[in-house]
Structure 1
Amino acid sequence: MSRIRIGLGIDFHQLVEGRDFWLGGVQVPHHKGALGHSDADVLLHAICDAMLGALSLGDIGVHFPDTDNTYKNIDSKILLAKCAQLIGEKGYQVVNVDSTLLLQAPKIKPYVPAMQEVIAKILHISVEDVSVKATTTEKLGFVGREEGVTAHAVVLLEHLPG
């Protein structure tokens, strides 16, 4: 295997009334939340998929299937920590994360520093090595109609010496 590996993750979740809205491990106040088997944290799921994909380990559906009640309503921070453990067992660590959320509302700028802190702490990297950005789709498509949320993440992994 290469000394460095890059992975790309993408996730989508429907937005519905009556659910908490978790993004990047932070609860964001909003009248809708993401629907899913877990807490439906689209950002953490995209990061998990990027990490797993970098080492050809499948995706979060392989490791944490929605058919397994063990993961029903699970905190996605736990899933991210488990993915970090999986890549660690292969001798790799995260160097940096670059991510983008696509959502029409709410504005997440006030929550980005907390998201960066949560992700950095779980992955044992610096806050400066975690980028969280957001954009709207200019009211186009399911994101623009506030029917769903999407996240994209790119992760660079480095093989640990030894």
Structure 2
Amino acid sequence: MRFGVGYDAHRLVMGRELVLGGVAVPFEKGLEGHSDADVLAHSIMDALLGAAGQGDIGRHFPDTEDKYKGISSLVLLEQVTEIICEHGYQVNNVDSVIVAQRPKLAPYISLMTENLARAMRIPVSDVNVKATTTEGMGFAGSGEGIAAYAVAGIKKA
């Protein structure tokens, strides 16, 4: 077994759709970024790449390349899963947490979990997604942005 940790954060802005775990969450703002800016998927991708010793998402999917502009992060997560497999591993499990003051995410967690599990080709029971607030502290608490953390385990295929 190998383990990796991932983190991502993006600014909330008007005029963008809020996508978390591949789910379009109804909200007046969305996350700014080159792709769909899905911080949850990005943190998981970095955790997986880290576990395999394969750098980070910026190395594999640079924001200087137009082909990644607006791309679904679930598509990128599928590609990261392929990278893991090419290096002789498979995803074992993922635990993650979204840090956001608003919106309330509980109604969307199960769909996020299903989307992520499908992209990584693992059972839903091996993916855990949580959400928390910061009680009004910091950039997430003030509504400036949303962050996500993830830990991923991979095993020899």
TM-score (norm 1): 0.96
Summarize deviations over 1:26-69 as a string: whole Å, max 9, x none.
11000010000000000000000000001111100000000111
Q: Given the alignment of the two structures, is residue 39 of structure 1 paired with residue 36 of structure 2, yes or no?
A: yes
What is the aligned partner in structure 2 of residue 69 from structure 1?
66
**1:1-162 alignment to 2 at 5 Å?**
4-160=1-157
Summarize deviations over 1:78-118 as a string: whole Å, max 9, x none.
11000000000011111111000000000100000100100
* AA at the equivalent of 2:131: A
- Percent identity over the alignment is 54
* AA at the equivalent of 1:105: R
Quote the RMSD (CA, aligned, Å): 0.5
* AA at the equivalent of 2:45: C
Deviation at 1:24, TM superposition (A): 0.5
SS at the partner of 1:137? coil
Q: Distance in 2 between matches of 1:140 and 1:126?
A: 35
* AA at the equivalent of 2:116: I
TM superposition outliers: structure 1 runs of 4+ over 6 Å: none
Note the residue ranges of structure 2 that are not aligned, 5 or more in a row. none
* AA at the equivalent of 2:79: K
* AA at the equivalent of 1:21: L
Note the residue ranges of structure 1 that are not aligned, 5 or more in a row. none
- Count of residues in correspondence between the two structures: 157
* AA at the equivalent of 2:49: L
Deviation at 1:122, TM superposition (A): 1.1
